[in-house]
Amino acid sequence: MLNGDLISVVVPVYQCSNTIDDCLQSILSQTYSNIEILIIDDGSTDSTAKKVLSYTKNDKRIKLFTQTRQGVSVARNRGIEHAKGNYIVFIDGDDFVQKDYIYKMWSIIKKSQTDLVICGYNRLIYDVTIPQKPLLRNSNLTSKEFIKMTLIDPGHHYFGVVWNKMFCLDVIKKNRVYFHSDITLGEDFVFLLEYLLFINNVRIIHNKLYFYRYQNRNSLSRIYCKNRKDCQLELENREKIFAQYIKDFKKFDLQNEYNKEMHKYWIMFYIRQIYSIKHEYKWSLEDKNNWKKELEENSLIKYSKSLFSDSEISKLYFEHLIHSSFRKIEKNTFYMTVKSLKH
């Protein structure tokens, strides 16, 4: 079925030979057919590009672009530059979508006269679908209301990823909203924060239209085993993310009112790191002590801690401890169940 606006679908891929078929077939099966599919291969050495090329022979909507390994941000930016649609979505090559993924979001974006739609999603772990609870209610929000909602959990997928969202391409190009290649973790959230500066409202729907593969991802940005350098990189990334966060809160005249809530971002990072130093990181005692000292001396963390009492920080740490313990039990139970089913 041919529909109204042209929708650009940008798919960055790297070493996705095992998942690219599911991804592309789900896109090609969309009930909304007026789409262009821009695949950007970020230097894969497996058969990813070869598989994509076989699809281009049968469907002219698919275009393949290749580049040397430069990361997901550069790949997505290249997709934006070549995109010609009225609206744009981003789908990772590891994932796949419901057949009405594009139509549902496009119809909402047209009816609501909005420039951003966010849908629900499912997590897929070893081919087992885990529905994710919605963080926010079905709603129409102003950009100002939405930015306040991000304080619930800035890293949550409703805020911190681009793959469950439809954007207006004209807003992106006109205001030069692009992914920052110098940010390797959290680049999606910065993109969203910049985009929010130029739109008026946001529409949230609960339809679970996206399937996010969690395990064994060959994602362009995922880190599996953290060492001290990884943690330092995460700290640097968070400083860049937070700078954009402050810019948004200033623009919407919210910084003074929500200063403490904003800086909880750093308190939670600090708490997670202290917890990991004690219970997770398999480092030398010297590395653990040096990293803890580096955290304590960071100016943003020091300032954030000054806004919270010792009892508040202790309470948040205890809550994180309990949450982490339950998550570990849930994960172990889940993986044992899946393992038993496979055998």
How far is residue 18's CA from residue 47's CA, in Å, rounded to a whole number?
A: 9
How far is residue 133's CA from residue 135's CA, in Å, rounded to a whole number?
A: 6
- pLDDT above 70: percentage of residues in the chain: 92
Query: Over the stretch 28-51, which tens digit does the pLDDT of each residue have?
Result: 999 999 999 999 999 999 999 999
pLDDT at 221: 37
How far is residue 207's CA from residue 122's CA, in Å, rounded to a whole number?
A: 10
Interacting residues of 31 by C-beta distance below 8 A, sequence separation 6+? 1, 99, 100, 102, 103
Task: Assess whether pLDDT exceeds 60 at residue 294.
Answer: yes
Query: Over the stretch 315-340, which tens digit does the pLDDT of each residue have?
Result: 999 999 998 887 777 777 766 766 66
Query: Over the stretch 179-217, which tens digit does the pLDDT of each residue have?
Result: 999 998 889 999 999 999 999 999 999 899 999 997 654
Closest residue by Cα to residue 76 from 233, 201, 195, 206: 195
Where do the domains of the chain lie? 7-213, 228-342
**Domain at 7-213, CATH class:** alpha beta
- Return phi, psi of residue 119, to 5°: -110, 170
pTM of the model: 0.91
